[in-house]
A = this chain, B = another copy of it.
Amino acid sequence: MQRTNFSELAACSIARTLDVIGEPWSPLILRDVWVGVSRFEQIQADLGISRKVLTERLNHLADQGIVERRPYDRRPRYEYVLTEKGTELVDMLMVMTRWGDKWLAGEAGPPVLYRHHACGEITSVDLRCTHCGEPMHARDVDPLPGPGAAN
């Protein structure tokens, strides 16, 4: 498999984002780091991913400024923490999770719940229009070519 480089595509934020976290395992690694599974051995054991691939993914995520590698011991031991850029990417995972919970629900129910700091409730995320505050889903918008459109 040749490395698919989506950034060759006409300026496209989806393609560019996929170049950052589109590779297999990357979203799951991001989730692990977010919930505190943040060391190499832990992630490897949690996901069952090959060590080689995990190394590659962590390096790439670090190169892209999504995670930071930081020592936690005087021995050469490291853990990975999310940057601001990486934390904002988790927003996407929350929306992905909501879709999976709804459409691919296992009998057991969602494996992760979110407690919202502001209200203290176990809740889920909702998409709204930045401008008017009303719900805004894919069916509520028309996509239009923007300034960076290719054709």
- Interface residues in chain A, defined as those with a beta carbon under 8 Å from any beta carbon in chain B: 1, 4, 6, 8-18, 20, 22, 24-25, 27-28, 31, 34-35, 47-48, 85, 87-104, 106, 108-119, 121-132, 134-150
Contacts and interface: CB of A to CB of B under 8 A. Distances in A.
Contacts of A90: 137-138
Q: In the complex this chain forms, how many copies of it are found?
A: 2
A48 B9 contact: yes
A28 B12 CA distance: 9
Given A35-B143, A126-B128, A138-B90, A111 B11 contact: yes
B130 A128 contact: no
Contact of A108 (B93, B99, B148): B148
Given A17-B99, A91-B95, A109 B47 contact: no
B14 A93 contact: yes
A42 B93 CA distance: 30
A109 B13 contact: no
B103 A9 contact: no
